[in-house]
Structures are given as structure tokens and as C-alpha cells.
Amino acid sequence: MKASFFRRYGGPEVLEYGELPDPVPAAGEVLVEIHATSINAADWKMRGGHYGAKMEFPHVPGRDFSGVVIKSAGDFKPGDAVFGVCEVPREGAYAEKIAIREAIVARKPEKLSHVQCAAVALTGLTALVSLEDTLKLKRGETILIQGGAGGVGGFAIALAKHLGARVIATASAANHDYVRKLGADEVIDYRTQDFTKIVKGVDAVFDTVGGDVTAKSFAVLRQGGRLASVAVGAAAPSPRPDVTSLRPKVDRDRAHLDRVAALVTQGAVPLPEITEYPLAKAGEAHRVSEGRHLRGKLVLRVRG
Ligand SMILES: NC(=O)c1ccc[n+]([C@@H]2O[C@H](COP(=O)([O-])OP(=O)(O)OC[C@H]3O[C@@H](n4cnc5c(N)ncnc54)[C@H](OP(=O)(O)O)[C@@H]3O)[C@@H](O)[C@H]2O)c1
């Protein structure tokens, strides 16, 4: 099969495009012909060796995909359109085929193309687990979403609105119209404004940026407020004893993917702005993603 892979850690230039052996599904796994896979921030962190993960080379990155079943262990039949998110540290979606545990693969909605479905798989799952399962966001609450123009942040804005929350988001000025369209009630230009001077006493913060942004975000919470960050390895240390710091545990399961698909197909969450690249140009897409100022999602077209 054709795949995009790397043989050593490094910059986007270490990504090669070429032939690799087809994956062989183990017991309980389904073999899928991939049509589209998306770029997630984890992909270039993995490629750069930032996770310190020991891996076998060549390594095929890619954590989510949409495609068509070739061989099934039982739940699906050949020809069924499915989508899924890989179980870390196993990846492998930048390829024409993937073998993956069937129980964590979901049916692709007919309404969505493979490109659209790949675009919302991991970001949707992450936003869902963070807002519903971790922060337990409730109707009427106010949430600050850091990084509203990104893949995870964008899905989270729309989901928070759907859940009945008031949403404040941070983004650079060029992305304000975009995040407003996703549902943000208030947008802060983090380049020219200090969010800690504008936002006070919110119920929850969802952080997708990390570093100083995470650390400073605790100040804007009300007493008893909650912060969840997906941009850190473990729950960020809180400087305040009266608030809670959480690290969402983004497990893979079919039920959550079904809910992501339903939210998008029912129009509760709009699709992100999608920029497509062919699989052979994965390195170019990594450069954009690694720049950290991407709007929406980048998707690699594997077929078609
Ligand atoms: N399983 C998990 O736990 C999980 C899953 C998925 C992702 N993640 C993590 O979540 C994070 C976000 O991932 P992603 O894929 O959504 O990233 P992304 O799509 O690359 O998002 C980057 C966005 O961050 C915004 N941004 C950059 N600096 C900012 C700042 N100082 N304040 C506010 N916004 C800022 C940029 O907006 P502007 O252009 O407007 O600056 C850009 O839209 C990553 O760290 C990723 O590793 C974790």
C-alpha cells in the first residue's frame, strides 16, 4: 500500500511517501481502505519526537480516518463506510489501509463525505469527552474556550452552544468572524488583549493552547470552577485551591463517535473549514499545522 511515514524523528522533511506492506488484521480487528485522514497536532509532535515515545520505524502517523471496510471480524461487512480514531500509541492512518479494533470503529453517516468525516473524528471526540464527560458543562453556564479557531476548539465552541452554555473564545483577529459563526458569543483577540483582564468568574475553561495560556486561565474561574486542558500531558497544577484542574481522558469507543456523527449530521455542530492535501503532501500540511495558527482542519485525501 501507499503510505506517508518517517524513519527517524525530525522536521516535516522526514515524512516520506512510498510503499509499505499492507497491515494484517489481528483477531477482533477490521481492515479498512482509507479514503481520508486528518492532521492533528499530535501528528507533528509525534514526528518531532516530542512525546519521547519509543517506536518502530518506519512509523506511519495519523490518528483518525474515514474509509470503507475490506475485511470485518463481524460488526461490519465489506463495503460498509466507517470512520474511527486510533488507539494511542498505535497510529497508522496516513496510509491506504489500516487494521484497527472493530469495537472502536463507527459507521460513517451517509450525509458526510469521507473528508468531512475524517475532519471531525478526533477533534469531535476530544471536544465531546472534554465538555460533556470531564467538565460536565451545564445549560446556563459560561465557558472560556482557548484556541477557538483550531480543530478541537472550534468543535468545542459549537458543542458548548448546543449544550446551552454562553461561550467566550480566544482567537486572533483574522479568525473572529469564523469563531462567531461557530457560535461564540464573545471573542477576545489574544494578541492585543489580556483575557485575564476581560474575563472574570466563569464556570469553566477549556484550554487547547497550553503553556502560559493554561497557567493564566485559572485566574478567570469563579470559586468552584473547573478547567480542562488537552494541551498538557497531565492535569495542570492549579495555583488556586478553590478550583479544579482536569485532564480529559479521551478513550476511543463507538458510542462517542456515533454521537459526534449525530451532532454534525443534525446540524448541532457545523463542519469546520477544511483544507485538503493529497497524502503525498503530508509534509506540507504538517508545516501549516505546526505553525499553530491554522483555522479549522487539514485533511489528507488518500483516495479520490
Ligand atoms: N486526545 C487528546 O487529549 C487530544 C486530542 C486532540 C488534540 N489534543 C491537543 O489539543 C491541542 C489543540 O489541538 P488542535 O488539533 O485543535 O490544534 P490546531 O487545530 O492546530 O489549533 C491551533 C489553534 O490554536 C490557536 N492559538 C494559537 N495560539 C493561541 C493563543 N495563544 N491563544 C488562543 N489561541 C491560540 C490558533 O488560532 P489563531 O490562528 O487565531 O492564532 C489555531 O487556530 C494540541 O495541543 C493537541 O495536541 C489533545
| The C-alpha cell that represents 93 in the structure block | 492512518
Domain final position from 212, 227, 246: 246
166 and 24 in one domain?
Answer: no
Rounded CA separation 253/105 (Å): 7
Helix, strand, or coil (residue 170): strand
Choice from 208, 220, 247, 273 to test ligand 1 binding pocket (greatest atom count within 8 A of CB): 208
pLDDT value for 158: 98
Q: Could you give the angle at the alpha carbon of 167 between the alpha carbons of 165 and 168, nearest 5°?
A: 155
pLDDT band at 140 (very low <50, low <70, confident <90, very high): very high
pLDDT value for 74: 87
Q: What element of type H or E holds 16?
A: strand 15-19
Q: pTM higher than 0.95 for the full model?
A: yes
Pairing of strands 29-38, 297-301: antiparallel
111 and 182 in one domain?
Answer: no
CA of 40 from ligand 1 middle (Å) equals 9
| The C-alpha cell that represents 184 in the structure block | 461564540
Residue in the block written with cell 458569543: 185
| The C-alpha cell that represents 127 in the structure block | 471536544
Summarised one tens digit per residue, pLDDT across range 248-262 is: 999 999 999 999 999
pLDDT value for 162: 98
Q: Are 144 and 204 a contacting pair, CB within 8 Å?
A: yes
pLDDT value for 276: 98
133 and 156 in one domain?
Answer: yes
107 and 195 in one domain?
Answer: no
Residue 132's CB: how many other CB atoms inside 10 A? 16
CA of 74 from ligand 1 middle (Å) equals 37
What is the maximum alpha-carbon separation in the chain?
A: 56
Domain final position from 201, 221, 246: 246
CATH number at residue 208: 3.40.50.720
pLDDT value for 304: 79
pLDDT band at 273 (very low <50, low <70, confident <90, very high): very high
pLDDT over 90 (residue 89): no
Residues 221-238 have a mean pLDDT of: 96
111 and 7 in one domain?
Answer: yes
279 and 138 in one domain?
Answer: no
Nearest CA to ligand 1 atom 45: 231
Burial class of residue 116, CB neighbours in 10 A (0-12, 13-18, 19+) = buried
Residues 158-184 have a mean pLDDT of: 98
Summarised one tens digit per residue, pLDDT across range 172-222 is: 999 999 999 999 999 999 999 999 999 999 999 999 999 999 999 999 999
Question: What is the domain count for the chain?
Answer: 2
Residues 5-13 have a mean pLDDT of: 97
Choice from 38, 123, 130, 172 to test ligand 1 binding pocket (greatest atom count within 8 A of CB): 172
Q: Which of 249, 280, 290 is nearest to 18 (CA)?
A: 280
219 and 262 in one domain?
Answer: no
Residues with CB under 6 A from ligand 1: 40-42, 122-123, 126, 146-147, 149-153, 170-172, 175, 190, 208-210, 213, 230-231, 248, 250, 289, 292-295
Q: Which of 200, 164, 211, 202 is nearest to 183 (CA)?
A: 164
Residue in the block written with cell 490518528: 63
8 and 85 in one domain?
Answer: yes
Q: What percent of the chain has pLDDT over 90?
A: 94
Q: What element of type H or E holds 180?
A: helix 176-182
Q: Are 80 and 69 a contacting pair, CB within 8 Å?
A: yes
Question: Which ligand 1 atom sits nearest the alpha carbon of residue 190?
Answer: 32
Choice from 44, 152, 207, 290 to test ligand 1 binding pocket (greatest atom count within 8 A of CB): 152
Backbone φ and ψ for 186, nearest 5 degrees, come out as: -140, 140
149 and 64 in one domain?
Answer: no
107 and 131 in one domain?
Answer: no
CA of 154 from ligand 1 middle (Å) equals 9
pLDDT band at 51 (very low <50, low <70, confident <90, very high): confident
pLDDT over 80 (residue 9): yes
Nearest CA to ligand 1 atom 24: 147
Burial class of residue 273, CB neighbours in 10 A (0-12, 13-18, 19+) = middle
pLDDT over 90 (residue 111): yes
113 and 30 in one domain?
Answer: yes
Q: Which domain holds residue 294?
A: 2-121+251-301
Average pLDDT value for the chain:
97
107 and 23 in one domain?
Answer: yes
Backbone φ and ψ for 280, nearest 5 degrees, come out as: -65, -15
Q: What percent of the chain has pLDDT over 70?
A: 100
